Amino acid sequence: MKNQITEKQVIPLVKTAVNTLLRNKILLFPYSMIVFVQLFILEILYFIPRFPLNKFFSPIITTFWSEKYLHYPLNLLLLPQLFQKAQPPVYILISSFFVAASIYVISEINNKEDINILDAFKRVLTQYIHIVIATLISFLLIIFFFEGYGLIVKRAMIIRSTQGVFYWIKVLVIGGTPYVSLLISIFVTTIFAYVYPAIVLDKKKIFSAIGINFKMLSKSFWNTFFLVLIPTLFFVPILLLRNSFPIDLSIPEIRLWLLILSIFIMIMIDAVVYTAVTIFYLTKKEVV
């Protein structure tokens, strides 16, 4: 892999990341664990209306929504909302750990070392608190930008025009919310791209890792941005599909299958993004 990672262009790096994942199946194990956790949570949420889960969750659903959402088909329409609410702790406490483990495995592959996934988990565990803090900071920044755009959406919703410039501004702002949210995630991922590698590979504490991260970004922001952007664009079809299917009580299963598909695609995107970013990080270190 060392000869390959000397390429600094974005497209070759993305191709190298994909090839690295395909040739080293062990790299997929941490991401498969994330998929397992996500599907397990989805399964729990799916069976909320049934005993024994309904004993605990029924009062919550009834209080915040209504008793109707415990029954088909409304329970399937509520499912994506509940799944989304479960994402922050999973992202901060679980997904970050497995992504960090994959970064360590990439380094071992680069050094042509024998790879033991348990060793990778142990190594990451020693830096776990810094990984969690870094993930929490990035998550709070995403929420900050989401809330900011939410204010713009609220302002757009009070526009009464039914034609003309202001009408189209309203349509674009409200209709573009999912795509702006995706762009916000891409931007935040970019500006924290090298924090995980600095923590895992160089054993840096959180503030030192952030310092190294911004030092690298000052010289390669756009390279990093497109490293994140290009794989993430594969999620756009999912957004288009979601917007193509109105909330239809006759076929609520469509939303459920789109949710399952989005889990797999998003994990694949994360695998390519963090592999590419880590390869680039190792490249810069070798050059220096």
| pLDDT tens profile 172-196 | 988 889 999 999 999 999 999 999 9
Residue 243 has pLDDT above 80, yes or no: no
Q: Is the pTM here over 0.95, yes or no?
A: no
| pLDDT value at residue 249 | 58
Q: Which helix (H) or strand (E) is 83 found in, with range?
A: helix 74-85
The average confidence (pLDDT) of the chain is 89
Count, residues in the chain: 288
Place of tokens 């762009």: 183
How do residues 230-242 score in pLDDT, each as one tens digit?
999 999 999 888 8
Question: Is the pLDDT reported for residue 4 higher than 60?
Answer: no
Q: Which domain holds residue 167?
A: 4-287
Using a pLDDT cut of 70, give the percent of the chain over it.
Answer: 94
State both tokens at 171: 């349509």
Per the structure, the count of domains in the chain is 1
Give the tokens for residue 182: 């995706």
C-alpha dihedral (90, 94, 98, 103), degrees to nearest 10: 90
**What is the structure's pLDDT at 105?**
95
**pLDDT attached to residue 7:** 42
Alpha-carbon Rg of the chain, whole angstroms? 21
For the chain, what is the largest distance between any 2 Cα atoms, rounded to a whole number of angstroms?
65
Coil, helix or strand for 90?
Answer: helix
Which range in 138-142, 153-157, 255-259 is most confidently predicted, on average pLDDT?
138-142
The residue written with tokens 């750990």 in the block is 97
CA–CA separation, 277 vs 288, rounded Å? 17
Residues 6+ apart with CB under 8 A from 140: none
Report the pLDDT value the prediction gives residue 186, as an integer from 0 to 100. 96
Which pair of tokens denotes residue 224? 């990093």
